[in-house]
A and B are shown apart, each in its own frame.
Chain A
Amino acid sequence: MKTAQEVRVGNVVMIDKQPMVVIKTEFSKSGRNSSVCKMKLKGLLTESSTETVFRADDKLETVMLDKKDATYSYFADPLYVFMDADYNQYEVEKENMIDALNYLEDGMAVEVVFYNEKAISVDLPTSVVREIVYTEPAVKGDTSGKVLKPAKIATGFEVAVPLFVETGDKIEIDTRTGEYRSRANK
C-alpha cells in the first residue's frame, strides 16, 4: 500500500479490483494543512480512463511490476518500441509514455515495465543530461541561479534554467520533477 501522495505517474494501482496506471497526478492544498490529490487513471486491461480524487494520506493498493532494462529503438505510431540486450522488442503505447516523451532520444536506456507480461510503460533514470537547443542569450552578472528563464531541449520540452545557461550547454534534469539540477560539463 502507498499513500496517494506517494503514488507517482506510471505507478499501477488497484482500483475496483482492476489494475490502473496513473497517467497524471495533481496535488492541491485543501484546508487545515491537508491536501487533495486528483488522479487520472487508465485501466491496464480495459483501457478505460477515469478521474478520481483522494486525500493525500488515503491508502492505495499498488501493484508490483516486472521491469527489464532496454533501450529506445523507434516509433511506429502509436507504439514506442524498445529492445533489450537479447534483441527482444517491447512495444509501449504512446499514451502510456507520459513524461518519458519529454526526454526520449534514440538509444536511451530505460526500464520497460510489465504487467502480466505485457509492456505497459517505461521508467526513466532519475536524471538525464540533455543539450539546450534554444534559450535566450545568457545574462552576465547573475550567477545566483535564483532567477530562471525557459530553455528548450531537442524534444521540445522546456526546462526553467538559471540566466547564465546558454544555448548549446548540457544540463542535468531531474526526470521526476522536470526541474533543472545543474550545468553538466561541456
Chain B
Amino acid sequence: MRSAVLFCRVIDNFGDIGVCWRLARLLQHAYGWQVSIWVDDLASFARLCPGLDVQASHQAYESIQVVHWCDQMPAAEWRQLQANLLIEGFGCRLPDAALERIAQLRPHWINLEYLSAESWVESCHGLRSPDAQTGLSKYFFFPGFSAKTGGVLYEPGLDAERRAFRRQAALRTQFVQSLHLPLPVQQALDDPAYLKVLMFCYPQSGLSALIQAWQEGAQELLCLLPQGVATAQAQAFLGGEAQAGAWRRQGNLTLAILPFVPQARFDRLLWLADMAFVRGEDSFVRAQLAGLPLVWQIYPQEADAHLEKLEAFMQAYLARLQPPAAHALQALWQVWNQPEHYAGLGAAWRQLQASLPQLHRHALRWRQRLRRNGDLAGNLLQFIQKIG
C-alpha cells in the first residue's frame, strides 16, 4: 500500500493547514494513497473541517488519519510512523525522534514550499537537499504558475462540479439555503443587477475605504463577507455584531455576513460571486481555478519582501492582458497591499469596474494556462517516481 504522511505546523490563519489538508485529500481520494496528516493545532484545523475532534490525539476524518502532533510526543509514538512518502509542509521542523524514525524508513522526503511566481522558484524546484542528521536526501517541491514548477492543487472533478453548480439551479439554491441568509440577501444573489463580490481578506485591510466607495458607486453591489473576516470594519458598517446572517444596505452597497464555511465548500462561495478578494495561498489559488477576476492580499512579510512576490505574480498574470484592464488591476492590487495608499482605493476600484468583463475573460484564459501545468499532487507523484 502506498502510504503518505504530511506534517503541518500552523503558524497563523488557515494558510498552512489549508494547503496541507487539500493535498492530503487529493492524495487519498484522487490518487488512492493511504494518507495521514500530523497537525500541531487541531483548533485551526477544525475551522476548516467541522466535526474534527480537537481533543483526540488520533482520529479518522474523511478516511484520512489525523494525528495531533506535538514535539513532546513519546518516542514510541514516532516508532509507529509508516510512510513511503513523507511531506513536510513549508519546512516545518521535525523533532529528533521523528528524524530517527525517518532514517529507518528511508521514505521519499519532500519539503513542500510556499507558492510564488518569482523566477528563482523555477531554479530551486525539485532540487535535492541533503539532510546532515539522517544522511538522507530531502527534495524541495515548489508550487507555481509555470511548467517548470509543481503547479497548483486542483481536484480532477473540480471543473465538472463547478459547471453543475452553475447550471443546476437546485444545487445553487440548496447551497444558498444552507447559508441561512436573510431573504433580501438571497434575492440580491439572484438579481443580475448586483455585482457579487466575495471578500476574504486579512483583519488589516482597506475594506472600510472600499465600503465607502461601494456605497457611493453607480452599481448595486453585494459584498459577501465570511464571519470572522475583517470583523472590525464590518461592524463599523453594520452598526452591530458581524455575525452570520447580519446584513445592511446603505446606498448601493449590501453587505452580508456569511457563516465561515468548511474548506470543502469554499469553492461554492466563489462560484456565487462575480469577482473575489482573496488572501494568502489557498483561497488565492481557488479564485484562479474558479476563473474569477481577483484582487490578492498577499501575506505581509518583513522588509516588504511580499511586495516583490506580488510584483512577480502581477507580471505573470498581466502579461497577456491589454491596458486599460491590466493597468486598472495592477493599480488596485498595489493599493490594496499598501496600507499607506488605502485612500486611493475608491479611485482604483472605479477604474477597475469598467474593465470587469475583460478581466473575466482573462481569468478564464489564465485558468486554462494553470490547468496545462497539471495538478500539484499528480506532479509530485510523478516527481517521486522520477527520483526513484
Chain A residues within CB distance 8 Å of chain B: 1, 14-17, 26, 28-34, 36, 38, 50-55, 58-61
Contacts and interface: CB of A to CB of B under 8 A. Distances in A.
Nearest to A50: B128
A110 B257 CA distance: 68
Nearest to A36: B124
Interface band, chain B: 20 to 34
Contact of B305 (A15, A26, A29, A61): A29
Contacts of B308: 29
Contact of A32 (B90, B118, B120, B130): B90
B127 A53 contact: yes
A36 B130 contact: no
B299 interface: yes
Contact of B132 (A26, A33, A34, A60): A60
B140 A53 contact: yes
B81 interface: no
Interface in B259-308: 281, 299, 301-302, 305, 308
B190 to A, nearest CB: 39
Contacts of A55: 91, 111, 129
Given A31-B115, A33-B301, A34-B90, 9 more contacts: A1-B132, A14-B132, A16-B135, A17-B135, A28-B121, A31-B116, A36-B113, A53-B128, A54-B129
B313 interface: no
A51 B124 CA distance: 9
A28 B120 CA distance: 7
A52 B132 contact: no
B123 interface: yes
Contacts, number: 67
Nearest to A30: B114
A58 B135 CA distance: 13
A29 B300 CA distance: 12
Contact of B116 (A16, A30, A51): A30
Contacts of A31: 90, 113-116, 281, 299, 301
Given A31-B116, A38-B120, A59 B132 contact: yes
Nearest to B93: A57
Interface of A is mostly: strand
Nearest to B139: A53
B11 interface: yes
A185 B129 CA distance: 47
Contacts of A51: 127
B128 A32 contact: no
A34 B124 contact: no
Nearest to B303: A29
B301 A38 contact: no
A50 B133 CA distance: 20
Given A31-B90, A52-B127, A36 B132 contact: no
A61 B130 CA distance: 11
| Highest count of chain A CB atoms <10 Å: which of B121, B132, B305 | B132
Contact of A30 (B113, B129, B131, B281): B113
Contacts of B115: 31
B65 to A, nearest CB: 26
Contacts of B299: 31-32
Contact of B302 (A33, A58, A60): A33
Which 9 A-B residue pairs are closest in the complex by CB-CB distance?
A31-B114, A29-B305, A53-B127, A28-B120, A55-B91, A53-B140, A53-B124, A15-B130, A33-B302
A131 B74 CA distance: 63
B135 A32 contact: no
A36 B140 contact: yes
B11 A38 contact: no
A28 B124 contact: yes
A38 to B, nearest CB: 5
A54 B90 CA distance: 12
21 contacts: A16-B130, A28-B121, A28-B124, A29-B301, A29-B309, A31-B114, A31-B115, A32-B11, A33-B301, A36-B140, A38-B123, A38-B127, A51-B127, A52-B127, A52-B128, A53-B127, A53-B128, A53-B129, A55-B111, A58-B129, A59-B133
Contacts of A61: 132
Nearest to B119: A28
A53 B111 CA distance: 11
A161 B11 CA distance: 42
